Structure 1
Amino acid sequence: MSITLPPPTPSAPSSCLDRLGETTTLAISYLRVSTKEQAERGGREEGFSIPAQREANLRKARDLNAIVVEDFIDAGESARKADRPELMRMIEYVKTHQVAYCIVHKVDRLARNRADDVTIHLALKEAGVMLVSATENIDETPSGMLLHGIMSTIAEFYSRNLASEVSKGMSQKAATGGTNGKAPIGYLNVARRDDLGREVRTVEPDPDRAPLVRWAFEAYATGNYSSITLREELIDRGLTTPPSPKRPAKPPTLSTIQKMLTNPYYKGNVSFRGASYDGIHEPLVAPEGWYRVQAVATAHQTSGEKTQAHDHYLKGTLYCGQCGSRLMLTNAKSRRGVIYPYFICAGRHARRTNCDQKSMFVPDVEAAVEDYYRRIQIPAHVLTALRAQVTEKFDQLHAQAKQDRHVHVRERDELRGERTKLLQAHYAGAVPLDLLKTEQDRIARRLAFLDAQIEAGDNEYEQTKAHLDDCLALAGDMHAIYMSVDDSLRRIANQAFFEKITLTGEEDLHGHPGPPFDVFLNPDIHALALRREQDRAEGRTQTEDVEGLNNDLLVGPAGIEPTTSTV
């Protein structure tokens, strides 16, 4: 490796040099430790290694009848790179000062590869400086030069071998589920002693930050937050980065939140060099929840939509019935200074479409939405029939799920065996790393799905059934609920009940319910439920004399379980 030196900057001799005679032998001392921790160990400003190296170099200087006039200290700098700040300053120093010796504690303090060692040694030699080791018999004699070359080669071998051993150890640790390096936000690196007194390093959930991380994944999965608004909410809830000896706790940056949402560590996986392994740490997020977050993040990147603060509780819900653009809020001021709010078509305003939708007075639109709630809420007799049909269909699905569970368990066991064989083949060199990662991702996704299906036991079915019953109750009392809440809760109600509401005029309004209300508010479903209720009352079977019976109307491909927990 060649060293690129900055242009020389001549400096005046120090006052120490002025006091010394020209016949005095002068020397400089170079000191280095590889990490910041070494430089601060024991709470000392220079740790323990730097003072020890300085003392050894001073003893060597006394043996040479020389005086050390300058120390050059690289604290926390690796010898694997040559562009260390104090090393570069030292080389510039010897060009402008008469120095006889450059004393180092060991050759490996100067460089740990042969090319850098040769380059640094030549730079010192051209300046008339002899390199001397305080602990090794290195000088300009042939035997000293031979030993210098041997020690430099040994230092390079040690550095490369150490890197290889460290990498091997990290690979093995990751393969057994351990965590390499600092755990991400929400976890703490913990060191304990086992029964034999051995130090055991592990990772545990941070009691202060782990609940906030869990909430962040749950909130983002609803689709109601962008990464920007999620960060703001987390900061309001008190999330900070863990403090360190160098940095105090502070609010997380946006990139920290974005990395957190995409880090598979939170669902129980550790990654190393592109491969993924099952971690032994406690997951903060269920696998299906993590994949749901990835889907939401992808959708946000595709659409470019940002969740922003709403100026009006209907903003973000209303769309133009002609061109499909959002309706935006604007204010018109009269000559007397009175402000009148209107909803206008964003497509027409930006001239992206040929829409001729007129502006709509906000109070009139508010009244139209209130009346729409009154018109679509489910009557009591329909609600009773619909509840009976939903419960019956749900029980059928539950019975089928029990049968499917055995199939899922068998497939899960097969996939786990396949994953084990895949890792064994990779260790044997039969499967390259890129193929290993692709196959691991495929197996992990399928296992996450299967685990979610298997764990859907009776308790979850009962909870979901109760949740659906709550949604039915809301649908049967929509108007009263909407009229009794404030503007902020009205916005939540609109987002819970509808994917969007389209307006062609102030009174021509049409809602597009979201799941599960798209099923509950469907007039065809109402008619089917009433007919089945009548058949049951008359003692007929459900399929007897019922034309056009179609369970798909009642439960579509996505099922009847709500996709949002907003309600």
Structure 2
Amino acid sequence: MKQKQKAMQRITGDDYVAYLRVSSRGQVNTDYNPEGVSIPAQRVKVEERGRELSSTKVAEFVDPGRSATSIDQRPEFQQMIDYLREHPNVRYVIVYMLSRFARNRLDDAIMVATLEKLGVRLISAVEKNIDDTPTGRMLHGMLAVINEYSSNQSAEDIKYKMGQKAKNGGTITRTPVGYLNTIEIVDGRRVRTVIVDPMRGPFIRLAFELYATGEYTVDEVAQELYDRGLRMPRNARYPEERGISTNRLYVVLRDDYYCGWITHDDEKYKGRHTPLIPQDLFDQVQMVADSRNSAREKRRIHHHELKGSLFCGSCRRGRGERRRMIVQHATNRHGNVYRYFFCNGRFDHICELPYIPIEQAEEAIEDVYATVRFASEFIATMRSDLATMIDEQQATTKLLQAQLTKQLRALDTKENNLIDLAADGSLPQGKIKARLQEITKQRDRLTTRLHDVDESLATGAEIIEACLQLLQDPQALYRRCNDQQRRQLNQALFEALYIDEDSNGNIRVSHKLREPFGILHTAQSQQQARTGPPEAPASLRAVLPAPKRQSAPPQPGTGAVLQLTGAALAGGPWKVPGSNELLMVGDTGFEPVTSSV
């Protein structure tokens, strides 16, 4: 109380400041007046209330078109507080309504307390029964709660309507570059819709087409679009002529809105707007982008399929460090361009590996592919033992299926008997319901097992077969690939490729294989080292996944390690001469699907 009286004593006049606010730009841009309709209407009512208090307006603070639920997001309010501290002649802050002042109880309490510390009273032009009396304060608190509820309820209502619009295929966000918002008249109704931008739409389609080739970086695509005439709209922030930025173009290339999808709350819905690109082109772009991200390549200028997979063998051998090899293009005074790989450790003056011509590095990598091939004898042994293991599993599976089916029939019989007892009234209804519920649980468990008669071994066999085909002649396969396919193959087979120079100045490349290739090569080495008959089944069981329960039958050929399918590889060099089968795995790679996928 004393603090409030002390604050009131600093006030030397009876003037007031007006605080006006609307929530969105849409409430401002609705009239010939730049302020729209709402702010002038608020001003009239506030000035009317000021005259009733015999007070003079000395300042006005306006927050136009800012949807802010927190005082931290209202710069004009902060400026008003600074003004009040410097002008003790101000006794009142007059607002149109309390809902214009604060939309939640916490901000209302903080803002009122801030004004009271300055000795300033908050006045509502409309809610005139709000004053410093106990009744007035109670009403103020009640209105603050109501305003917060109204704000939250409005937000929930908007969220629901946006969700319904998304489910119906409508665009709920600002249209991305390449599209325009427009209004169509349908049966006399004004319908907001989206059309393809005739100026920028073709450029965005071209961006996807260029990037999908794998020959362009995002920077290069952005520059190409600028050279061909793409210009972004001018605005207050960017009044000058400009092209699309690299960051924004990357977001565009990752946005499936362009192939016809709407995203809302992590759900996908088919949009009503016209797709700029087909789905297969979008998928190819994602494959290119993912392959570069998988290699953690930070390419800005020079492209090469080995970037992100090639590391310095000298740093690994000398200091146990893993450092990437970088591409450099050097031009002599005659204009001849020489391309090299060099270790980024040279920037820190800690690596002595010389610059390696790219052609020599490429030849060395091709030689590595010759060393990772599987011998024909090993492939034959593995396939033979795979067939034997699958046959054994199928026999076991048939027995298990018969057992489970028999148990399910027994449960059906028990259930029918209990239903008959319930009809006769022979047992209490409570006991019958409990037993029926237990039967239902048992049936669910048995049905799950029936659908889960361990197919993991069969799926693992498909994975091994894909690996065997892929490394039957990997060097010839690698030579048939284009640059993008080589990049994917490098990332699929190798965790890292280490390039180094020996004492004689010869280029040498060592490698670390990804699984299951590494385990299979270990099995091949063990088989070659033995003099007796091969024991492939042991090595097979080390490679194949352990049997596990799954919530649904696994799909053949599914996994998450290698993704060599898609439009880019269809019709590519993956076919073996004389075979109609593609040397590919399923859409998600080598590893079998699990219940968590």
| TM-score range for the pair, normalised by the shorter chain length | 0.5 to 0.7
Q: Is the 8 A contact 1:347 1:353 kept in 2?
A: no
Q: Which amino acid aligns with 2:249?
A: I
Q: Which amino acid aligns with 2:104?
A: N
1-structure distance, mates of 2:484, 2:28: 61
Check if 1:212 corresponds to 2:239.
Answer: no
2-structure distance, mates of 1:497, 1:262: 18
Pairing partner for 2:583 from 523, 542, 557: 557
Q: Which amino acid aligns with 2:100?
A: R
2-structure distance, mates of 1:283, 1:50: 41
Q: Is the 8 A contact 2:341 2:357 kept in 1?
A: no
2-structure distance, mates of 1:187, 1:123: 46
1-structure distance, mates of 2:97, 2:28: 17
Partner of 2:417: none
Tell me how far 1:118 sits from its aligned partner: 1.6
Q: Which amino acid aligns with 1:175?
A: K
RMSD: 4.7
Tell me how far 1:348 sits from its aligned partner: 9.5
Q: Which amino acid aligns with 2:184?
A: R
Provide the identity percentage: 33
1-structure distance, mates of 2:111, 2:358: 76
Tell me how far 1:33 sits from its aligned partner: 1.2
Q: Is the 8 A contact 2:15 2:58 kept in 1?
A: yes
2-structure distance, mates of 1:558, 1:345: 32
Matches within 5 A, 1:471-482: none
Tell me how far 1:160 sits from its aligned partner: 0.5
Partner of 1:346: 341
1-structure distance, mates of 2:104, 2:485: 66
SS in 2 for 1:100: strand
2-structure distance, mates of 1:287, 1:78: 37
Pairing partner for 2:248 from 230, 245, 256: 256
SS in 2 for 1:87: helix
Q: Return closer, same or farther for 1:148/1:519 CA change in 2, 3 Å cut-off.
A: closer
Name stretches of at least 5 consecutive residues in structure 2 with no aligned partner. 1-9, 315-324, 360-480, 488-568, 586-597
Partner of 1:30: 19
Tell me how far 1:517 sits from its aligned partner: 9.2
Partner of 1:366: none
Partner of 2:268: 276
Check if 1:63 corresponds to 2:56.
Answer: no
Partner of 2:524: none
SS in 2 for 1:224: coil
Name stretches of at least 5 consecutive residues in structure 1 with no aligned partner. 1-12, 311-315, 334-338, 361-493, 501-513, 526-549, 560-567
Cα deviation per residue 1:307-334 (whole Å; 9 max; x = unaligned)? 7479xxxxx9xx9xxx9x999765678x
Q: Is the 8 A contact 2:232 2:244 kept in 1?
A: yes
Cα deviation per residue 1:231-280 (whole Å; 9 max; x = unaligned)? 11111122233456876574211111000111011111111121111111
2-structure distance, mates of 1:189, 1:343: 49
Partner of 2:171: 179
Tell me how far 1:499 sits from its aligned partner: 7.2
Q: Which amino acid aligns with 2:26?
A: E
Q: Is the 8 A contact 2:574 2:584 kept in 1?
A: no
Q: Is the 8 A contact 2:302 2:328 kept in 1?
A: no
SS in 2 for 1:199: strand
Pairing partner for 1:227 from 198, 218, 224: 218
Cα deviation per residue 1:199-243 (whole Å; 9 max; x = unaligned)? 211111111111111111111111011111011111112223345
Q: Which amino acid aligns with 2:341?
A: A
Tell me how far 1:558 sits from its aligned partner: 6.6
2-structure distance, mates of 1:327, 1:247: 35
Partner of 2:67: 78
Q: Is the 8 A contact 1:177 1:277 kept in 2?
A: yes
1-structure distance, mates of 2:354, 2:116: 81
2-structure distance, mates of 1:359, 1:128: 76
Tell me how far 1:42 sits from its aligned partner: 2.3
2-structure distance, mates of 1:132, 1:348: 70
Query: Which moved further from structure 2: 241-250 or 110-119?
Result: 241-250
Q: Return closer, same or farther for 1:232/1:80 CA change in 2, 3 Å cut-off.
A: same
2-structure distance, mates of 1:517, 1:166: 49
Q: Return closer, same or farther for 1:145/1:556 CA change in 2, 3 Å cut-off.
A: closer
Q: Which amino acid aligns with 2:299?
A: K
1-structure distance, mates of 2:227, 2:337: 33
Pairing partner for 1:297 from 289, 295, 303: 289
Q: Is the 8 A contact 2:179 2:196 kept in 1?
A: yes
Q: Return closer, same or farther for 1:47/1:247 CA change in 2, 3 Å cut-off.
A: farther
Pairing partner for 1:99 from 90, 93, 97: 90
Cα deviation per residue 1:370-429 (whole Å; 9 max; x = unaligned)? xxxxxxxxxxxxxxxxxxxxxxxxxxxxxxxxxxxxxxxxxxxxxxxxxxxxxxxxxxxx
Partner of 2:40: 51
2-structure distance, mates of 1:357, 1:136: 80
Q: Tell me the number of residue pairs that the alignment of Structure 1 and Structure 2 aligns.
A: 360
1-structure distance, mates of 2:245, 2:154: 35
Check if 1:42 corresponds to 2:35.
Answer: no
Tell me how far 1:70 sits from its aligned partner: 1.1
Q: Is the 8 A contact 1:269 1:279 kept in 2?
A: yes
Q: Return closer, same or farther for 1:557/1:93 CA change in 2, 3 Å cut-off.
A: same
